[in-house]
Amino acid sequence: MIEILRQRRFRRLFTAQVVALVGTGLLTVALGLLAYDLAGSDAGAVLGAALTIKMIAYVFVAPVISAVTDRVPRRIVLVGADSIRAAIALTLPFVTHTWQIYLLIFVLQAASATFTPAFQAVIPSILVDEDDYTKGLSLSRLAYDLESLLSPALAAAVLTVLTYNLLFVATAAGFIASASLVMTTALPRPIPTDRSVPLSRRIARGARFMFDRPVLRGLLAMNLAVGAATALVVVDSVVYVRDLLDGSTAGVALALGCYGGGSMVVALSVPRLLTRVTDRGLMLAGCALLPIGLLLGASIAALRPSPGPGWLILAVAWVTLGAGTSMVNTPSARLLRAQSTPDVRPAVFTAQFSLSHACFLLTYPLAGWVGASAGQLTAATALAVIATLAGTTAARVWPVDIPSRIEAVPAGRR
């Protein structure tokens, strides 16, 4: 899989992605410390609001920016988004009120909602061969998982010698480095779009395209299953470790490491697995794993086992959830490329980005509010039901006789 980095353009773009991801990870840590300085014990509420703002930007801003910039060269879009993110990161240390955090976070996440789908839509034009593209997707998934595991450790190391405000400077440096790598990489020009089409239709173009095709409708349902699994891990890991298992902060990191480890193992295996099974088979298998992991989590809340058995169940559950989400997420871009043509591809990648994050607007509050009011057993069970229904729906709307490649879809079945 590493041999794919011999391709110069992909290597530069992949490096830009990794550098930007590290910057984002450092920013997350620094933002938490800044929120605590400004809000004290209310820092959790500030960060919760910031997470909501992030999701709103991802869901509603991404399609609008994609439609407005559909004729702008991709290099300008990507470099512009990185430049905005760097500027915001340098501005954050000077804020003195929480409303300023909210405003800057919205602009920052709007820039991220511009960068990420545009970046993802460019890669299929760089890696034309499907096997190469699959390897590139696996590396990209691996980069996301490693960032989530290593960025907190890197931030902790930096904080031993620097103040947390300098983490914002490191974040800005990461975005500037990313922009520099993109600037020096030759990228394909966007295919001109028909500007006579009303803006509202161009904004919804990618979503309409996805709902019009059985394969991509199946992917949309799978997004909800992934959202259910991710919500339990992201929102409730600290509750499981600290309250149900009487663990420490280090235990939370260990639990998240189990989730990331399961995801990375699958990401590394996807290129080989897809030579033996279809995209549909692999992704539906991942959907089948997710309710199992969620019900294992529910069993901890129901049985309240002692720490030894409890930790074993938690580790198995979180590894299962990590593996299941990666089995869906890693091949998903293959479906988007196979089902779209170059002229509509940026809109389709943007729609997937937006609609997949819309699932989190449902599952994150469910995991948090239901868990807090009705208990973790109820929250995990509800999420398991959602994941089961979503996986079943995906299998129904994407029939087994419809392959992922658009050119192989029989006439009248699109």
The tokens of 74 are what? 């991709």
The residue ranges of DSSP E strands in 140-268, in sequence order, are none
Confidence of residue 403 (pLDDT cuts 50, 70, 90): confident
1-203 and 204-400: identical CATH topology: yes
Fold of 204-400: Growth Hormone; Chain: A; (1.20.1250)
pLDDT at residue 145, as a whole number = 74
For residues 34 and 63, which has the higher predicted lDDT (pLDDT)? 63
Per-residue pLDDT reduced to its tens digit, 212-221: 999 999 999 9
Residue 411 has pLDDT above 60, yes or no: no
Max Cα separation, the chain? 65
Average pLDDT of 232-248? 86
pLDDT at residue 414, as a whole number = 44
User: Is domain 1-203 in CATH 1.20.1250.20, yes or no?
Assistant: yes
d(C-alpha 390, C-alpha 228), whole Å: 9
pLDDT at residue 207, as a whole number = 92
Average pLDDT of 361-377? 88
Of 2, 376, 414, which Cα lies nearest the Cα of 210?
Answer: 414
- What predicted TM-score, i.e. pTM, was given to this entire model? 0.86
The tokens of 262 are what? 């399961």
For residues 22 and 310, which has the higher predicted lDDT (pLDDT)? 310
CA 178, 184, 186, 189 torsion: positive or negative? positive
Of 65-79, 87-101, 180-194, 382-396, the one with minimum mean pLDDT is 180-194
Percent of the chain topping pLDDT 70:
92
Provide CB contacts within 8 A for 157, sequence distance 6+.
Answer: none
The tokens of 397 are what? 């709307």
For 283, half-sphere exposure in the C-beta direction (CA atoms, 13 angstrom radius) is 32
CA 69, 72, 75, 80 torsion: positive or negative? negative
- Quickly count: other Cβ atoms within 10 Å of residue 374's Cβ: 12
Confidence of residue 407 (pLDDT cuts 50, 70, 90): low
Mean pLDDT for all residues in the chain: 86
Per-residue pLDDT reduced to its tens digit, 53-66: 888 888 998 899 88
CB 270, CB 359: distance < 8 Å: no
Residue spans of the domains in the chain: they are 1-203, 204-400
d(C-alpha 18, C-alpha 147), whole Å: 8
For 334, half-sphere exposure in the C-beta direction (CA atoms, 13 angstrom radius) is 28
Of 85-94, 155-164, 240-249, 390-399, the one with minimum mean pLDDT is 155-164
Tokens 């394969």 sit on residue: 215
d(C-alpha 320, C-alpha 119), whole Å: 29
Of 14, 355, 412, which Cα lies nearest the Cα of 217?
Answer: 355
Residue 46 has pLDDT above 80, yes or no: no
d(C-alpha 71, C-alpha 126), whole Å: 19
Residue 147 has pLDDT above 90, yes or no: no
CB 26, CB 171: distance < 8 Å: yes
CB 357, CB 373: distance < 8 Å: no
